[in-house]
């Protein structure tokens, strides 16, 4: 599946461009080559990309230019990647982070 429940679409139809396949939370996403990880996820699902550090609220990217830190993901085992700044590559494995939240708050 290259698209589940996203409210966005690729303006260059997938059939007309080179694609790469990545995994987000175990789901396969086929996306145009060269797009950012944030775009790849937004183009795939309306679900959240990460949770806020303190309260664990669901978030999606706000600024898409590297300043809001609302798109932090784990990419191939590396933490705290800003999805809006990372281009996708074939076989990339993306996971949400901050899924475990601070219980004491």
Partner 1 sequence: MKTKYDAIVIGAGPAGLACSAELANRGLDVAVLDEQASPGGQIYRNITQATPRQHAILGSDYTDGLEVIKAFKEADVDYLPLSRVWQAEETGDVYFSREGASHQLKADYLVLCTGAMERPVPFPGWTLPGVMTCGGMSNLYKDSSLVPTEPVVLAGSGPLLWVVAEHLFALNAPIVAILDTTPLMQVLPAMKHMPRALKRIGFMLKGVKLIADVHLTALKRKVPIRRNVKNLRAEGNDQVEWVKATCGKKEIAYAATTLLVNEGIVPNTSLLRQVGCEHTWDPIQRFWFPKVGLDGRTNLPSVFVAGDGNFVHGAKSAEYKGKLTALTIANEMRRISDAEFEEQAQPVRDMLELDISPRPFIDKMYAPRPDLFGIPDNTTVCRCEGITAGQIRDMIEAGYTDHNEIKAIIRCGMGPCQGRMCGPAVFELIAEGSNLEPQKIRQHRLRPPIKPVSLQELANAKVGETDES
Partner 2 sequence: MKADVLIVGGGIMGCATALELARKGKSVIIFEKDTPGRHASGNNSGGVRCQGRDIREIAIAVEARKMWGLHEKTILSDCGFFVSPRLRLAENDKELQVLVKRQEKLNAMGYDHEVVVDLAEVRRLSPHVADHVVGGLVCYSDGLANPMLTSKAYAAAAEREGVTILKGTRVIEASTTSSGFKVRTSRDKFYEGEMLVNCTGAWAGRFSAMLGDPLPVFSAAPTMMVTGRMPGMMNGTSLGLTGRLLGLMAAQNGTIVVGGGYRSPHDLEKEKIWVDPMQMAKAAKIMVEIMPGLKKAQMMRCWTAFEGCIKDKVPIVGQSIKVPGLFHVCGFSAHGFQLAPMMGRVMSQIMLGQKPELPLDDFRVDRFEDQKTAK
Residues of the shown chain interacting with partner 1 in the complex, contacts defined by CB under 8 A: 7-12, 32, 34-36, 38-40, 42-43, 46-48, 52-55, 57-70, 72, 78-80, 82, 84-87
Query: What number of other Cβ atoms are within 10 A of residue 73's Cβ?
Result: 23
**What values do phi and psi take at 13, rounded to 5?**
-55, 140
| Nearest distance in Å: CB 84, partner 1 | 7
Nearest-5° Cα angle at 96, 86 to 101: 135
Q: Cβ of residue 28: shortest distance to partner 1, in angstroms?
A: 18
Query: Could you tell which of partner 2, partner 1, none binds residue 102, using a CB distance below 5 to 8 A set by kind?
Result: partner 2
Binding to partner 2 (CB under 8 A): which residues in 41-80?
A: 53-54, 79-80
At 60, phi and psi to the nearest 5?
A: -125, 170
């Amino acid at each position: 599946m290259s698209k589940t429940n996203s409210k966005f679409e690729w303006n260059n139809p997938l059939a007309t461009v080179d694609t790469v396949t990545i995994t987000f939370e175990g789901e396969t996403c086929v996306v145009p080559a060269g797009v950012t990880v944030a775009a790849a996820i937004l183009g795939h699902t309306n679900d959240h990309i990460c949770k806020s550090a303190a309260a664990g609220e669901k978030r999606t990217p706000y600024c898409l230019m590297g300043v809001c830190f609302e798109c932090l993901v784990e990419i191939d085992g590396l933490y705290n990647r800003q999805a809006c700044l990372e281009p996708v590559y074939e076989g990339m494995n993306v996971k949400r982070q901050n899924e475990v939240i601070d219980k004491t708050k």
